[in-house]
Structure 1
Amino acid sequence: MCAEDVEKLVNNRLRDLKIGGNFEDALRMEVDRANSSPFTAEIEQVALSKRFSTPSFTCFKGDSDPEIHLKHFKSLMILHKTEDALMCKVFAMTLREAAQDWFHTLPSGLISSFKELAYVFTKEYTSYRTIKKNPDHLLNLHKKSDQSLQDYIKRFKAERANIIGCDDKIGCSAFKRGLPTECELYRELTISPCQTLVEVFATAERYALGDDDQIAAKKADQAAEQASQENSKRRSQPQEGAPAVESYTNFTIPIHQILAQVKDMPWLKKPSPLKGNPTKKDTSRYCTFHEGHSHYTNDCFAWKRHLEDLVRDGHYTEFIAMGAIQQIKDCDVANNEPPRKKSYGSTQS
């Protein structure tokens, strides 16, 4: 029985089973339908064999391609395809939720064969059918600029697998067309065209190995360059917790001698006391500025910074060379420093 015959038979049976009459008749028919089966009496009377083991099906809920579900069902029931009643009853067991509700709304005695059941099933869910791709779809595939040759091969194979009836001539032409014209594989397929798609893929796989090596080498070079830049940046910046490098004026005498000469001046500010336990400090190192043990006066950062501020205010310039004074002036101008209390070069202390 061809598809047209099945369609005609089912439509005629539906017309014969139309509900007619008054409300009471319609209500009685609905009750009868709830207690009846969409299958004919011949199918209902066939009992399932005790030796039959129901396969593990993926159930159909009414929201996917009906043809895919039919193919799935037929492949698992291939050993029983000649047993029409068994095919019908087992197929009904694969329906769930909305699809199960639909099945029980079918008129009583409508289905007399699995072909009829398959017809009404696909007709009901035809809007969920997947649009099949034709071989021309492959002509739209192109290798992207940032895509490796291996990835292009995989994508092409995956798309071709979804196309039924794609011959090698179209496949070979589409694969080559999707390659950049400057690609070495494109030139190879032009000079020595392959007769089958298997040969095209084999040739492409050889080129893909070289392509992968080039990509890996490029990534390695980029990683090495990035690491070199990060190392250079790390060397140019002070490490976390390390004191910043400071630049101090070069004096003509040691700074501890300067402190000895100016320690009684009114503009000299006393520093904060040294922190830490005095009993644990190195008593061999004494700082006159802090008046405590811990470090030498010449190594005291607090005295060095305070001395720089005093110099910029015009004090103690007699202890530095005129060239150094000019450098301080230039630095202040560059940093937009405000005017100092005294002009540089003053000999007052």
Structure 2
Amino acid sequence: MLIIFELRIPIIQRVEQHPFAGRATEDANCHLSKFVEIANTLKLNSVTDDTIRVRLFPFSLIDSAKEWFECLPTEQVSTWKDIVAAFIDQYYPPGTILKLKSEIFEFIQGHDEPLYEAIAHFKGLLRKCPNHGFTVDHQVLVGSG
């Protein structure tokens, strides 16, 4: 079922205020987090968050990142999950991903660290690497290391 809805200019302008150009100095994960924070302020009846994000995301890109996105096959950008995977594959350096996955896998609660702080720290590591690939079961095992 095709849902037709209109994105209002103010929300598009908010997204455009935090553009991602695809430069090596830009943090792709930070861009995604900021984008989701802004997109989550828009709620429309009968329209899922996924649909809103898919429609709004291109407005957050400029320069080579916009060109990259426009060249993607339509089926590769039909869901938010697909867009995030393609974006991370394109703009998150493999070395960074390996380093972050290693930090997640080797996570140990500090000797004097309260449990709530350790959990927050672990969740922060997971957020820094959205394509970490650890299942929820594995996260529990690693997090309890």
Smaller-chain TM-score bracket: 0.5 to 0.7
| 1:110 aligned counterpart, secondary structure | helix
Q: What's the counterpart of residue 87 of structure 1?
A: 53
| Corresponding residue number in structure 1 for 2:90 | 124
Residue 80 (structure 1) shift: 3.8
What amino acid maps onto 2:111 in structure 1? K
| 1:169 maps onto 2:111 in alignment | yes
Map 1:12-23 to 2 at 5 A.
Answer: none
Check 1:51–1:60 CA distance in 2 against 1; reply closer, same or farther (3 A cut): closer
Q: Is the 8 A contact 1:60 1:69 kept in 2?
A: yes
Q: Which has the higher contact order (CA 8 A, sep 6+)?
A: 2
- Aligned match of 1:14: none
Alignment-mate amino acid for residue 72 of structure 1: K
- 2:133 aligned partner: none
Task: Please say if residues 39 and 52 of structure 2, whose CA atoms lie closer than 8 Å, have aligned partners that are also in contact.
Answer: no
Residues 46 and 84 of structure 1, relative CA distance in 2, 3 Å threshold: farther
Residue 68 of structure 1: which of 23, 26, 30 is its match?
30
Are the counterparts in 1 of residues 39 and 56 from structure 2 also a CA contact under 8 Å? no
List aligned pairs for 1:29-40, cutoff 5 A: none
Shift of 1:49: 4.1
Cross-structure match for 1:46: 4
Rate the CA distance shift 1:167–1:93 in 2: closer, same or farther, 3 A: same
AA aligned to 1:98 is S
Unaligned stretches of 5+ residues in structure 1 = 1-40, 136-164, 173-196, 198-349
Structure with the larger helix share: 2
Distance change in 2, residues 1:76/1:171 (3 Å): same
C-alpha separation in 2, matches of 1:121 and 1:70: 9
Root-mean-square deviation (Å): 3.5
Deviation at 1:66, TM superposition (A): 1.9
Give the counterpart letter for 1:169 in structure 2: H
Within 2, Cα distance between the matches of 1:49 and 1:171?
Answer: 45
Name structure 2 gaps, 5 residues minimum.
Answer: 118-145
Paired residue secondary structure (1:169): coil
Q: Does 1:59 align with 2:19?
A: yes
Q: Distance between the aligned counterparts of 2:71 and 2:39, measured in 1?
A: 25
Q: Which has the larger radius of gyration?
A: 1
Q: SS of the residue aligned with 1:58?
A: coil
Identical positions, percent: 20
The number of residue pairs the alignment matches comes to 102
3-state DSSP of counterpart to 1:69: helix
Q: Which amino acid aligns with 1:47?
A: F
